[in-house]
Amino acid sequence: MIEEVIRVIAFSLVISGIWALVSSGFTLIFGVARILNFAHGSIFMISAYFAITLLKYNINPILSFAAGIIFSGIVGVLIYKVAMSPIKEHKIMVIIVSLAVALLIEQIVLNLFGEHGISFPSLIRGYQEVFGVKITNMRILAFVLAVLTIFLLEIFINRTRIGKMINAVAQDMEAAKLIGIDVERIYTITVFISSILAGLGGLLYSQIFAITPMASLKALIYAFAIVILGGLGSVKGSILASFIIGFIIVLTITFLGARWSEFIMLLTIIAILIIKPTGLFGVEE
């Protein structure tokens, strides 16, 4: 019994940490620029594919890992600059175009790498035993990295000058413009940060599970569920919601089977929407 409990807790902490990275990035860009970035899941997937490709050319794993994260940031900014920034005013089109970009990237990766899952080899080996349950060091590292990154994000947004500017734009874009903040530059920085978070999430995911081109849509759907629960635009809400959703998913997988996980997730969301329509910490639309 105690083993089962520990296994569920350990597994859900790791999953929740990864989803917290992905969804806080998604909600951050919404909170600042009021953009729903449907290409966010592609960034999640593409960072892992890029890093794995570098490894094939015998590049040091840690270097590949770092390059994958930077690459995801660059791709995120590119997508924003080319496909989203010019049509920011047309909210419907931003959603449609970014969804099309996501599917386009998925198709291209599918054609280049095939549909089989591939993994980034674990950065560290070995395992720890907690009450007789073996937990790999990689999972512990993934959780620690996720928590550390989210902690750094909090510090960055609340303490640094750029972070405060991001906050200002999120609160009132026009007032921020009036006091001389270059809003477009802040958007670009935010997209870069948000993409890096997704990229790190994808790289950690690909070391614990295998990543496939279809994982991009899965990541996107999970991010949606989390931000609906946590409230659109609230980083704090999405982190809390990640742990709730992660826990629910692992419980469902353990006791009902994996095919039920999306179903139960949706029921949770619907329940939340009925009780509190704007999620736990939703921002004004």
Partner 1 sequence: MRYAIPLIAILLIALLAPFIVSEAYLYVLGMSYLFIILVVSWDLMVGYTGYVNLGHTVFIGVGAYTAALLQSSRLFVILPPYISVIVAGAFSALIGFLIGIITLRLRGYYFALVTAILPLVFMQTVFIWRDLFGGEEGFSITGIQGTVERYYISLASMLICVLIILYIARSQIGLKFKSIREDEELAEAIGINTTKYKILAFVLSSFFAGIGGALIVNYRCTVSPDLYDIPLMLLIILSAVLGGLGTIYGSIIGGFLIYLAKNWWLKPIISQIPSMIPVSDDIILYTILIVIGILMPRGIYEELRKVASAIVKKT
Q: Which residues bind partner 1 (CB under 8 A)?
A: 30, 36, 38, 82-83, 86-87, 89-93, 95-97, 99-101, 103-104, 107-108, 111-112, 217, 220-221, 224-225, 227-228, 232, 259-260, 262-263, 265-266, 269-270, 273-274, 277-278, 285
**C-alpha to C-alpha distance for 33 and 183, rounded to whole angstroms:** 9
Which has the closest alpha carbon to 183: 43, 97, 85? 85
Which amino acid would we find at residue 35?
A: I
Residue 247's alpha-carbon distances to 8, 119, 170, 257, 260, in angstroms, are 8, 24, 30, 14, 14
134 phi/psi in degrees, rounded to 5: -85, 125
Smallest distance from partner 1 to CB 217, Å? 7
Of 145 and 219, CB closest to partner 1: 219
Task: Give dist(CA 284, CA 151) in Å, integer.
Answer: 25
Nearest CB to partner 1, comparing residues 17 and 231: 231
**From the CB of 220, what's the least distance to partner 1, in Å?**
8
Dihedral, 175, 181, 185, 187 alpha carbons, nearest 10: -30
66 or 251: whose CB is closer to partner 1?
251
Given the structure tokens 């704007």, which residue do they identify? Answer: 278
Please tell me the distance from the alpha carbon of residue 53 to that of residue 230, in angstroms, as a whole number.
35
Q: Given the complex with partner 1, which of 2 and 110 has the nearer CB atom? A: 110
Q: Which is nearer to partner 1, 129 or 285 (CB)?
A: 285
- Shortest gap between Cβ of 96 and partner 1 (angstroms)? 6
Cβ distance to partner 1 smaller for residue 135 or 220: 220
Nearest CB to partner 1, comparing residues 25 and 140: 25
Cβ partners under 8 Å of residue 21, min gap 6 = 146, 149, 150, 197, 198, 200, 201, 204
- CB of residue 184 vs partner 1: minimum separation in angstroms? 17
CB of 277 to partner 1, least distance (A): 5
At residue 128, the 3 state secondary structure works out as strand
Distance CA 260, CA 262 (A): 6
| Least distance CB 88 / partner 1 (angstroms) | 10
Work out how close the CB of 257 gets to partner 1 at its nearest, in angstroms, rounded to a whole number: 9
The Cα 152–Cα 23 span in angstroms is 16
Pair of tokens at residue 228 = 């609906």
